[in-house]
Amino acid sequence: MTGNGASTEAYLDSIQLSALEQAFREWAEASPRQDVSLSRRRILLLFLLIRYTGARLNEVLSLSPFKDIDTKECCVHFQSAEGNGATRDVRISKSLAGELSCALSDTPFMEAIGYSFDVDPAFVRRKFYERAEELGIDKRQGSPEMIRKARAVELMHGNLPLPAVQLMLGQSVVNQAASHAPFSEPELHEVTRLYMDRESDRRTSARNAFYGKVTSIKKGDIQARVDLVTVDNHLVTTVITLSSLDRLCLTPGKLVTAEVKAPYVILQHGSNSSSSADNVFEGIVSRITTGKISTEYIVRISEAAGLCSVVSSDSAEQLGLSIGDSVFALFNCYAVVLHI
């Protein structure tokens, strides 16, 4: 997470994490005995909290459900694992908040667990290991500690800015002094909220999302040019109509999400870019998925950010790209859609 070589360690990807979550859900519902079912539901909630907040096991076990989980504000209030009195608030999705709300309003469930998540950590780890091994996953990868790390990697691969990930996990936030528009802690929390909402609501088909702050707006007769900077210090330019500008109530300093569909991202092989595209990012090809009709590329443009590009497989053959190649990822200002 901090560029110290952790990326060489094997983590569960989003598909494996989803499969593990499904395994927990099926296991929790499998017992006909109510006492066993209630106990398993507690383990399921512990998994979901670690899976989606990236919290440490002891942080989750020390939660006071009614005091520390705010389902209305979609937030979990954690005490520092070091016991130094420090606290942090972690955003969760509306869907997870709804599931937690149902559990906390279920009297038999809360009475069964004693109104607390406190349980033997060794027992929790054993149940995590068992679910992982059921799926043929190395039990060490299914441990609470590795799921926390896998969540951090998942967030960064989803382009949640590194400072926001570090804040969420309770780590020291990297210096943002070099950024064109440094983000405050409340703004990083808001960026995380935007990410969680997008993660739980898959109605958009856009694969690329940038979370940033509007830096400038230049109005024309019909359209306006909007520039924004991300927490990772990437600059993104878009052009929208004046009516959209008014409807979104955009002003410098406002937090927005900029989305670009993968087919709109053009890749250019070579050591320098000569293009009229408004948005140009230099990166390294990190993954290639080849199909009969189309080919998908993932280009890492920084340690914590990537872009997805989809081209026809015929074009991919002409490009001749391999993993590790340096490329430029380009897209026009008209390909960018803004959300507030």
Whole-model pTM? 0.61
Residue 232 near residue 304, CB atoms below 8 Å: yes
CA-wise closest residue to 266 among 305, 308, 207:
308
Give per-residue pLDDT as tens, 53-110: 999 999 999 888 888 999 888 889 987 655 556 688 888 888 888 888 888 888 888 7
Tell me how far apart the terminal alpha carbons of the chain are, to the nearest angstrom.
27
Task: Give the three-class secondary structure for 77.
Answer: strand
Where residue 45 falls among pLDDT bands split at 50, 70, 90?
very high
Task: Give the three-class secondary structure for 279.
Answer: strand
In this model, does residue 173 exceed pLDDT 80? no
Residue 7 is predicted with a pLDDT of 40
CATH number of 261-329: 2.40.50.100
Q: How many CB atoms lie within 10 A of CB 289?
A: 11
Where residue 1 falls among pLDDT bands split at 50, 70, 90?
very low
Least confident segment among 160-164, 167-171, 189-193: 189-193
Mean pLDDT calculated for residue range 229-250: 84
Residue 336 near residue 237, CB atoms below 8 Å: yes
Which residues share a beta bridge with 116?
none
Residue 235 near residue 214, CB atoms below 8 Å: no
Q: 6-157: what fold?
A: hpI Integrase; Chain A (1.10.443)
Please give the angle made by the CA atoms of 308, 49 and 88, to the nearest 5 degrees: 90
The per-residue pLDDT of the chain, averaged, comes to 82
Q: Where in the chain is the domain with CATH 2.40.50.100?
A: 185-259, 261-329
Domain spanning 185-259: CATH 3.30.70.2190: no
